Chains A and B, each alone.
Chain A
């Protein structure tokens, strides 16, 4: 503080007169910044919300109406429309029901969440998955054609028993036109093991399991170019 000599004539009232008693002097520049910034922010945001509302285009996206299990063929009744503003639609999702109905789920799906291509298998005829069960087979690289087997492929599975003591080879058992629902790589301790999930007719399930335990399994794919009748090609 200053070392100037104090005077006895000063009073607080006299001091106060030295500054114009403007109401603006009651606020610092920080206060003024807040006073300007808050309304400007509110007005700017209101303008943008108004613009957004004015130009808003709603888009309906079909999402599961309830939780769906894995390998379930999706029907019309499984879907419900959900409204989105066009600018807030998530990228990479399936919007139209035509692109969803008839396909089967590759994993369990929660209700209300938009679907993506990677969560669904190919579109199949409605009767093809009827009376079938999803069966998974532990697969060697040979069974997955070195990784080329994929969901939607049609394969034949052959069970070959070893020759008897008399040297007679039993007739192999063939299951043809089996739809591959999925091929998964399951992580193990230090490596990955492949699993093939197939749609097996219920009538064949018992025989299939009987052979599975004691025979060699061969997976074959028809190279003649014959299409599986179950698969529906998108137009």
Chain B
């Protein structure tokens, strides 16, 4: 959800595209070519020597062609980033795998919940809200995702609803337009870090599968196969672990955004600021009903001046 909305923000930053997508794709394609040449029994050094003997014009054309292919491939990967993130969240897993992952994390969440005081900080960042003594604990467990990455992002998605009773899915796309530029930049950087790690993880996994399959077909060296297959998967797993740390930071920024700027949306919609948390939850419920279900919102709006003076009164202790 947040990722779709933020994609257009990060998409504007070419530097981020180069670092997060283009260079990983360049390395990925280069490694695949190298494996292709070695697997076919060719001498990489001889091919490099033969290439260097070509005319400069031909070399330039080949380099430009190669970079063009990489750019197109990078564009495809970049456009598929939301799908990649959803995959790592566990949305597009096979049902059997999804069930297995969910069961594992539900068990783990319950076990950690028994020692809540000890693992409080961890639970606050790595799992959706859970209270083992609540009547709604079954509903809470239904929020658990099959992967750790998914649970971290689910935590940030559930936070606004849990704290303020607002529907994050509906509100986020409106709220982020009200963030200051500096804050958008911080969130974009946090998301860029997540994207970078997940792109590396995805490409490494694809590399392991493609190169492994190819080396088996051409009956290449067993050691080369192990290096490519296990090496690719190991890098994919390490990058995924790296993405978890980045995702925690990203999720914290999202939660911070709701904490600090949610009232800006009331002001922007010319609605009165609530007096307390109970009023606020009620008001968010009405806003949600209006935006999502087209139900009547409030009897009247505050004018810009009235809203300003009312808000000032509300801010006085």
Against A, the Cβ 8 Å flags (1 = close, 0 = not) of B240-253 are 10000000000000
Q: How many A residues touch the partner, as a band?
A: 35 or more
> Is residue A91 contacting chain B, with contact meaning CB distance below 8 A?
yes
Could you tell me if B110 and A26 are in contact, using CB atoms closer than 8 angstroms? no
Number of A-B residue pairs, CB cutoff 8 Å, is: 114
Q: Is the CB of B104 within 8 A of A48?
A: no
- B43 interface contact, C-beta 8 A: yes
Bound-state CA distance A106–B147 (Å) is 65
How far does the alpha carbon of A33 sit from the alpha carbon of B221 in the complex, in Å?
24
By beta carbon, the residue of chain A nearest B46 is A91
Task: Verify if A10 is at the interface (C-beta below 8 Å from B).
Answer: yes
Chain A CB within 8 A of B154 CB: no
Q: Which residues of A contact B223 (CB under 8 A)?
A: 45
Residues of A within 8 A of B130 (CB): 1-2
Return chain B residues, CB-CB under 8 Å to A91: 43, 46
Choose one: A7, A33, A48; the contact of B237 (CB below 8 Å): A33
Q: What's the least CB distance linking B134 to chain A, in Å?
A: 4
Asked if A127 is at the interface of the complex by the 8 Å CB criterion, the answer is no
**Is B173 close to A, CB under 8 A?**
no
Count B interface residues, CB 8 Å: 49
Docked complex Cα distance between A40 and B209 (Å): 11
Query: Which one, A2, A20, A46, A55, contacts B134 given CB within 8 A?
Result: A2
Structural contact, B237 and A25, CB atoms closer than 8 A: no
Residue among A1, A12, A18, A87 making CB contact with B138, cutoff 8 Å: A18
Query: Which of B101, B137, B212 is close to A28, meaning CB atoms less than 8 Å apart?
Result: B101
Using CB atoms, name the residue of chain A closest to B208. Answer: A37
User: Is the C-beta of A190 less than 8 angstroms from some C-beta in chain B?
Assistant: no
Judge whether B305 is part of the interface by a CB distance below 8 angstroms: no
A22 to B229, CA, bound (A): 30
Chain A residues whose CB sits within 8 angstroms of the CB of B215 once the complex forms = 48
Find chain A residues with CB under 8 A from B141 CB: 18-19
Say yes or no: is B97 at the interface (Cβ < 8 Å to chain A): yes
B131 contacts A2, C-beta separation under 8 Å:
yes
Q: Which residues of chain B are near A16, meaning CB under 8 Å?
A: 110
Pairwise interchain contact A1-B131, C-beta atoms closer than 8 A: yes
- Contact residues in B for A41 (Cβ distance below 8 Å): 212, 225-226, 229-230
B185 on interface, CB distance cutoff 8 Å: no
Rounded to whole Å, the gap between the CB of A41 and the closest CB of chain B is: 5
A24–B103 contact, CB under 8 A?
yes
In contact, B146 and A29 (Cβ under 8 angstroms): yes
A-B contact pairs, 30 of them (CB 8 A): A1-B116, A2-B129, A2-B136, A2-B162, A3-B162, A6-B134, A15-B132, A15-B137, A16-B110, A19-B106, A19-B107, A24-B100, A25-B103, A25-B104, A27-B100, A28-B148, A29-B97, A29-B100, A29-B146, A29-B147, A30-B237, A37-B233, A41-B225, A41-B226, A45-B225, A48-B216, A51-B219, A55-B219, A91-B43, A91-B46
Known A1-B116, A48-B216; further 15 A-B contacts with Cβ < 8 A? A1-B120, A1-B129, A2-B140, A6-B134, A10-B132, A18-B106, A26-B107, A29-B101, A29-B146, A30-B240, A40-B229, A44-B229, A46-B222, A48-B220, A52-B219
